[in-house]
């Protein structure tokens, strides 16, 4: 393990060593655990609402555990996609020993993409649905166990539509950088439960775009 100057703990591995199947499995498991830990807190209001509905409506209500399972399945799928991207980057020899993108143009492209996404209608639409658990349940209600799992999957998809670009920043700041993991998970939680309106996302997007432009002006990362 190698400690970074940003206060996080980064997992170091040789950037030129080819990955084997066990390496990909380990990366997928790492991303899955990390995404579950990061996204569950922001989904807590929805999970509590589903649980309360289950208690009040008894057998007619969707099992909260199956709703949570559907939500997590979506993010686990996203995690394995991220692990595959990480494998591709490693095979292209563009990852540092701390598993960050080591090419300024590519890092700037990731930052700029995340920044511009914050201004898109899709981001705003997904965020609005994440901020209204009751509205989501009223519009997406399904009875029974399979209905609960489907609702969880759909809510996970809405959540991913809101946050996938921000999670992609981990390729720039460090996949195992605990400080940045805490910052991103806290921002996602606050953006969904505290802030209102589009301005937080737009401010964040502007900061990411400026950061990308700064990286392009730096000779080496």
**Tens of pLDDT along 159-205?**
999 999 999 999 999 888 889 999 999 999 888 888 777 788 899 99
9/165 Cα distance (integer angstroms)? 22
Q: Give the residue-averaged pLDDT of 97-124.
A: 91
Residue 6 has pLDDT above 80, yes or no: no
pLDDT band of residue 17 (cuts 50, 70, 90) is low
Q: Which of 186, 159, 132, 187 is nearest to 75 (CA)?
A: 159
- Per DSSP, 101 falls in state B
- Other C-beta atoms closer than 10 Å to the C-beta of 24 total 16
In sequence order, the 6+-apart residues with CB closer than 8 A to the CB of 52 are none
Question: Strand 2-3 and strand 9-10: pairing?
Answer: antiparallel
Residues in the chain: 221
pLDDT tens profile 126-156: 999 988 888 888 888 887 788 889 999 999 9
User: Where do the structural domains in the chain lie, given as residue ranges?
Assistant: 20-217
Q: In which residue are the tokens 């349940």 written?
A: 137
Q: Which residues pair with 3 in a beta bridge?
A: 9
Give the pLDDT score at 152. Answer: 92
Give the pLDDT score at 93. Answer: 77
Cα separations (Å) of 125 from 129, 161, 219?
Answer: 7, 9, 38
Give the pLDDT score at 143. Answer: 78
Q: Which helix (H) or strand (E) holds 66?
A: helix 64-91
Name the pTM for this structure.
0.80
């Amino acid at each position: 393990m190698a400690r970074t100057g940003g206060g996080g703990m980064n997992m170091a591995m040789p950037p030129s060593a080819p990955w084997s199947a066990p390496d990909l499995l380990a990366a997928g498991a790492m991303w899955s655990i990390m995404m579950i830990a990061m996204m569950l807190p922001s989904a807590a209001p929805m999970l509590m609402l589903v649980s309360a509905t289950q208690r009040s409506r008894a057998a007619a209500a969707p099992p909260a555990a199956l709703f949570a399972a559907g939500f997590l399945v979506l993010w686990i799928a996203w995690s394995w996609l991220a692990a595959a991207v990480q494998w591709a980057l490693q095979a292209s020899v563009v990852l540092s020993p701390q598993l960050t993108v080591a090419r300024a143009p590519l890092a700037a492209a990731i930052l700029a993409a995340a920044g511009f996404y914050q201004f898109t209608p899709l981001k705003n639409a997904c965020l609005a649905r994440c901020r209204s658990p009751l509205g989501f349940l009223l519009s997406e209600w399904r009875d029974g166990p399979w209905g609960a799992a489907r609702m969880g999957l759909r809510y996970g998809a809405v959540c991913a539509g809101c946050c996938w670009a921000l999670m992609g920043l981990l390729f720039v700041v460090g996949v195992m950088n605990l400080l940045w993991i805490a910052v991103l998970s806290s921002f996602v939680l606050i953006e969904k439960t505290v802030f209102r309106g589009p301005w937080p996302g737009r401010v964040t997007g502007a900061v990411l775009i400026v950061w990308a432009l700064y990286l392009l002006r730096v000779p080496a990362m």
